[in-house]
Amino acid sequence: MNFVRLLPVILSLLVLAAHFYRAGNLILVVLIAASPLLLLIRTSWIVRLIQVELLLGGIEWIRTAIKLVHIRQAHNLPWERLAIILGSVAAFTILSTLVFNLKGLKKRFNDPHHNN
């Protein structure tokens, strides 16, 4: 069941890795694509590391959206759909950090603030 709870995190990380693959940054591709494997380690610092990664990923999606919107606007091309899609991806990525607040995942990652 925890795997299902972690799907938004895993999906967000894999889509972010694909983004960097398209940009040609293979070091980030490997680091980000491998990071779901860290979820096999049951410690709270892994949660914080993944959450920071997801927050930075969301910021990257916002940065990319702004850059691409400006390019499309400069060429008088439609940009609204692009902004909605990338904004949604950014929101999904950032909101994925919240799955670690679910009871089962707090227990799995030994959150000291979680009461059984």
Residue found under tokens 């919107």: 69
DSSP assigned state of 21:
H
Span 95-108, pLDDT tens digits: 999 999 988 888 88
**Is 26's pLDDT higher than 60?**
yes
**The predicted structure's pLDDT at residue 111:** 54
Q: Report angle CA 113, 56, 9 to the nearest 5 degrees.
A: 60
Query: Do 39 and 9 touch, CB atoms closer than 8 A?
Result: yes
Would you kindly state where each structural domain of the chain is located, as residue ranges? 2-106
**Prediction pTM value:** 0.89
Q: What is the mean pLDDT of residues 87-98?
A: 98
